[in-house]
Amino acid sequence: MLRETEEDAKNPFSIEERKAHIIQELAQEGYEHHKEYCIISVPNITHITYGRDVGYKIEQEHLGEEVENISATKVREKMGL
């Protein structure tokens, strides 16, 4: 899932450019888009709030230190941006 965010100095890539980067990198690892994975865009949800018992829980998923330490800022710096 890719969040639909505005392009700015901190996030210089459009959603289509981000999608192309991901497809290219995963192809180099042998993964085929639409066969082993799909990329979808989702609204840029920044907050989830509720004012009463809504009947479900909001929980944080922990993906492991290696994944959680991924930084788009550091990736862009490696790209020279």
CB 70 within 8 A of CB 53: no
Q: What is the pLDDT of residue 45?
A: 87
State the Cα–Cα distance between residues 62 and 65, nearest whole angstrom: 8
**pLDDT, tens digit, for every residue of 29-76?**
999 999 999 999 999 988 887 777 777 778 888 999 998 998 888 888
**pLDDT, tens digit, for every residue of 4-29?**
988 888 888 999 999 999 999 999 99
- Name residue, tokens 């800022």: 73
b (16+ CB within 10 A) / e for 63-76: eeeeeeeeeeeeee
Q: What is the pLDDT of residue 9?
A: 84
Q: What is the pLDDT of residue 29?
A: 94
Residue 51 per-residue DSSP state: S
Q: What is the pLDDT of residue 24?
A: 95
